[in-house]
Structure 1
Amino acid sequence: MKIIIADDHAVVRSGFMHILNYQNDMEVVATAADGLEAYDQVAKYQPDILLMDLSMPPGESGLIATGKIKEDFPNTKIVILTMYDDEEYLFHVLKNGASGYVLKNSPDEELLSAIRTVYDGGTYIHPSMATSLVRQFVKKDSGEVETDPYKILSKREIEVLPLVAKGYGNKEIAEMLYISVKTVEAHKSKLMEKLNLKSRPELVEYALRKKFLNF
């Protein structure tokens, strides 16, 4: 199977490449340092599997890239590799089209098993996250009301929203917009409140749905 590894740390990419290329049934055909590069590499190589880190600042995050890649290249199956043992992230990456969710502290055998399971058409969830997944799917719909962000958000909040969703930190956003870090924090808190969002994954999903990530 052809595999692409997307992670912002070169040493991590190198380590996983060594593990996967040692397998008789796996070949790493390319690597990427962020979501945008991952998209380009998938377009070029059309791999069977994309092994994707969830957080790759300051570039485009794996959470954002997963939805784009799955929409444009449905035959490429995505396995998320992350440090986040977080049910919110798990729920959102699965909704965005990922087929696997593996924690970075898992043994090599688990990663290999996850890749093979996904390649064969299955879904792999780290065992510790299975209960969280069930909890998320049995929750009743929150009844989110669709609102026009251009009517309820200030101009500055509209500028901050896509930057937060793309994974930039408060300091980076402050430098980009020539405002203080405290002002960024205030705008971020206010827009989350106005949009009734409780977590960053929810904000990312909202930004994707409203096309803010094209900014």
Structure 2
Amino acid sequence: MIRVALIEDDADIRDNLMLIIDRAEGFSCRQAFSDVQEAGKSLLNDPPDVLLMDITLPGKMNGIEGVEFLRAAGATFETIMLTVHQEEKLVFDALCAGACGYLTKNTPPNRILDALREA
């Protein structure tokens, strides 16, 4: 069972991702949050196998800063960034911060699940 956590500020997208993950065989969406500050302690105390995180988030940290923060705090789980942005600089910055992958929000559900499996 692949344990997945989500950080996505759009409630509709977050709910849809939770449904996709929970309905897929071999996956469980264990936690879902709207920002990094809300997620931090919980993810470190009960780490998922993979975190799927938006880049554009409310609060003090965006997703790229969130990856850096979680890594510095000792997180060992893999992080895949999910966003509407397709700029090469954001992809590069996300990977340099410690993300293992990068998906756009229009990625088909089966490809999202494949990426979670491969992480």
Unaligned runs of 5+ in 2: none
Runs of 4+ in 1 over 4 A off after TM superposition: none
* 1:1-215 matched pairs, under 5 angstroms: 1-118=2-119
Cα distance between partner residues in 1 of 2:66 and 2:85: 17
- With normalisation by structure 2, the TM-score equals 0.92
Cα separation, 2, equivalents of 1:45 and 1:14: 21
Identify the structure with the greater helix proportion: 1
Q: How far has the Cα of 1:2 moved from its partner?
A: 1.1
Deviations 1:46-87 (A, max 9, x none): 111110000012452111111111233342100100001011
**1:50 counterpart SS class:** strand
| 2: CA distance, partners of 1:73 / 1:24 | 29
Question: What is the deviation of 1:106?
Answer: 1.1
The number of equivalent residue pairs is 118
Q: Is the 8 A contact 1:7 1:13 kept in 2?
A: yes
**Structure with higher strand content:** 2
After TM superposition, the score normalised by the length of structure 1 is 0.52
Cα root mean square deviation, aligned? 1.3
Greater length-normalized contact order (CA 8 Å, ≥ 6 residues apart): 2
Identity of aligned residues (%): 26
SS of equivalent residue, structure 1 residue 91: helix
The higher radius of gyration belongs to 1
